[in-house]
Structure 1
Amino acid sequence: MSTYFQQVSQLESELIDDNNLCLPAQLATKALIREICLSPKPGLVDMNNNGSHRDMNFQTFIQSIRAISIWFEKFYQYGKQAAFNDHHAFLKGIRPIGQQCEQAMYVATNQVNTHKGGIFAFGLLLGAIGKLELLALPVNVQAICSEVAVICQGIVNNELKQNNLTNSVGEKLFKQHHLSGARGEAESGYATVRTISLPIFNRMQQDGYNEEISLLQAMLYLLAYNQDTNLVSRGGIDGLNFVQQQAQKLISQNGMIHPNGCQCLYELDKQLINLNLSPGGSADLIAITWFLSQY
């Protein structure tokens, strides 16, 4: 058994078994465990190193997952309670839960942002699943993602296009480069996952590759095609283009199917660390990919 599978198994028993979480909340926790254990992840914190980050490490992420996983149940239960609300009211009502979950993360990590994007995504996904279950509707990838898209209808226009006074990093990147980041992904019903990484992950699994190799291959496709705002924030459009070009080059050589695929990923990791680039948006989508594969 590889280190990945050993670590995943150990963390699942530590972080899930005693919490009595509902199945969707368990799956969200398992998804975050797999994302942090997946290695090597170029520029990102993993089991090998801290990537391009000086304020967080593998253990910071474990502390964060432990703190936020108990909130996943609350997102799911909210989805059931608010199932008959229109999308504006649903989104408004789920935000305070997300903010409380973020606070739990910051307390656990000594004010380090490990999972803000993950909380946003899984809050919406779990809320959508709770709503679908309450309404006795099908719960599959298409239904879940369509429901998230409905809940988030207009979020890019309302929070990024408008001249809001907050002028967050997301707003600046939208104004400068028309990149909509996590909000755009959510409003699209996670189109990048549905059309790029999830089909690759599923195909690799069907072809007999294990979960670790399948996720690494899916990650390569995310690095190649996701418009990752974290990369732009750190390295500008040039930083994003560099990572996409390097990942596309590896894919043209069959990626993780190539005998030297893992070694090439290690080399790309070194390059991104030297350039201080971190594809954090793609990290969230790796977790979402695995999560949706369970449906």
Structure 2
Amino acid sequence: MTPFMLQIDALACDALRQEVMLENKPGLVCPSRNGSHADMDCATFQASIDALQGYFGGCFKAGFEGKEFRDLQRLGVAAEKAMFSATQGVNTHKGAIFLMGLLAGAAGAQYGEYGCFEPMRLGRLVAAKWGVNILLAGVQPGVQPTHGRHVKSAFGLPGAREQAAQGFPVLFATTVPQLHWALSEGASAEQASLHALVGTMAKLPDTNLAHRGGLQGLQWAQRRAERFLAEGSVFASAWQQHAATMCTEFEAHWLSPGGSADLLSAAWFVQSLAALNTTLSQPVEFNR
């Protein structure tokens, strides 16, 4: 793997670390609390991220070389096996493997064609290149139904595959813009991350929430997120206290917005690709 691919891989892994190290995430694993989870903690996530090193760079390479969705899928299956091995069977990053693997692949395709990145177009590129195959892969015989597939069948909510086939609309219409806006308003990386996360929770039909709490649980979580935003979000003077209270409430309902957490990681990855653009003075050579 070339140094540039390793750099892309490191950006993706750093984005995952940035998400897990964020405090006061309602229902999610943080350094100081396990959220609504009894089988994982921060160390579990760190072990998982370590096991995923090389995967995102591999997806970038596959996209650069014009590979098909089935090639990205094979990389994803291998990454899932590495994750489960590192976590003793705990699902820490399955959603992120799917989401950020596709984004890394699209970034590779983009770089192969233009010699730079257009991060806000990555979702549309995923939809255009692989959208049909992404949907077809979910209904093939022998494919084990996921929680998201069960939720889609029960409630009609779009799952990760549908979000991907549509170009990740919530990621690019809400998560990334809210992260960028909060940073531009002077928020710290911690504040901007939490603001983008809660903004995403208010919009995303998160199948993780629906799996745990049904439609009522999802709707409660979205209303609670909207309330945090209406109270000033991370720009309120007592924002940390408000966030901690929301964490306690999510834990009491045993709800965890894992899909929104994946989008936060992806938003930081997109943000890092935009920053990387400014350093690309000339195309990087690859051996195809």
- TM-score w.r.t. length of structure 1: 0.86
Q: Which residue of 1 aligns with 2:148?
A: 170
Which whole-Å CA distance do the structure 2 matches of 1:129 and 1:204 have between them?
A: 25
Q: Which residue of 2 aligns with 1:79?
A: 63
1:151-170 map, 5 Å: 151-154=129-132, 157-159=135-137, 166-170=144-148
Does 1:43 pair with 2:27? yes
The answer to whether the 8 A contact 1:60-1:114 is kept is yes
The answer to whether the 8 A contact 1:106-1:112 is kept is yes
Q: In the TM superposition, what is the alpha-carbon distance from 1:254 to its structure 2 partner?
A: 1.3
Task: For residues 151-205 of structure 1, give each alpha carbon's deviation from its aligned partner in whole angstroms, at most 9, with x where no partner exists.
Answer: 3323575355789874432222112212122112212222101111211111111
Does 1:128 pair with 2:106? yes
1:1-295 map, 5 Å: 22-81=6-65, 83=66, 90-136=68-114, 138-154=116-132, 157-159=135-137, 166-294=144-272, 295=274
Letter in 1 for 2:224: Q
Output the aligned Cα RMSD: 2.0
Q: Which residue of 1 aligns with 2:286?
A: none
Report the 3-state secondary structure (helix = DSSP H, G, I; strand = E; otherwise coil) of the residue aligned with 1:259: coil
Which whole-Å CA distance do the structure 1 matches of 2:54 and 2:270 have between them?
A: 20
Which whole-Å CA distance do the structure 2 matches of 1:26 and 1:258 have between them?
A: 33
Letter in 1 for 2:19: E
Which whole-Å CA distance do the structure 2 matches of 1:44 and 1:155 have between them?
A: 31
Which whole-Å CA distance do the structure 1 matches of 2:242 and 2:52 have between them?
A: 34
Which whole-Å CA distance do the structure 1 matches of 2:216 and 2:198 have between them?
A: 18
The answer to whether the 8 A contact 1:256-1:262 is kept is yes
Which whole-Å CA distance do the structure 1 matches of 2:69 and 2:148 have between them?
A: 19
Percent identical residues: 31
Which whole-Å CA distance do the structure 1 matches of 2:192 and 2:15 have between them?
A: 14
Cα distance, 1:172–1:163 mapped onto 2, change above 3 Å: farther
Task: For residues 93-116 of structure 1, give each alpha carbon's deviation from its aligned partner in whole angstroms, at most 9, with x where no partner exists.
Answer: 111111111111111111111000
The answer to whether the 8 A contact 2:69-2:134 is kept is no
Q: Which residue of 1 aligns with 2:279?
A: none
Q: In the TM superposition, what is the alpha-carbon distance from 1:70 to its structure 2 partner?
A: 1.9
Greater mean deviation of Cα atoms: 167-176 or 152-161:
152-161
Letter in 2 for 1:136: Y
Greater mean deviation of Cα atoms: 194-203 or 112-121:
194-203
Letter in 2 for 1:98: G
Q: In the TM superposition, what is the alpha-carbon distance from 1:76 to its structure 2 partner?
A: 1.3
Cα distance, 1:94–1:159 mapped onto 2, change above 3 Å: closer
Letter in 2 for 1:267: T
Q: In the TM superposition, what is the alpha-carbon distance from 1:62 to its structure 2 partner?
A: 0.4
Q: In the TM superposition, what is the alpha-carbon distance from 1:92 to its structure 2 partner?
A: 1.1
Which whole-Å CA distance do the structure 2 matches of 1:165 and 1:207 have between them?
A: 45
Letter in 1 for 2:123: C
The answer to whether the 8 A contact 2:5-2:61 is kept is no
Q: In the TM superposition, what is the alpha-carbon distance from 1:36 to its structure 2 partner?
A: 0.2
Q: In the TM superposition, what is the alpha-carbon distance from 1:30 to its structure 2 partner?
A: 1.0
Aligned length: 271
The answer to whether the 8 A contact 1:160-1:170 is kept is no
The answer to whether the 8 A contact 1:159-1:171 is kept is no
Cα distance, 1:165–1:110 mapped onto 2, change above 3 Å: closer
Letter in 2 for 1:253: E
The answer to whether the 8 A contact 2:135-2:165 is kept is no
Report the 3-state secondary structure (helix = DSSP H, G, I; strand = E; otherwise coil) of the residue aligned with 1:22: helix
Which whole-Å CA distance do the structure 1 matches of 2:35 and 2:158 have between them?
A: 24
Cα distance, 1:168–1:118 mapped onto 2, change above 3 Å: closer
Report the 3-state secondary structure (helix = DSSP H, G, I; strand = E; otherwise coil) of the residue aligned with 2:38: coil
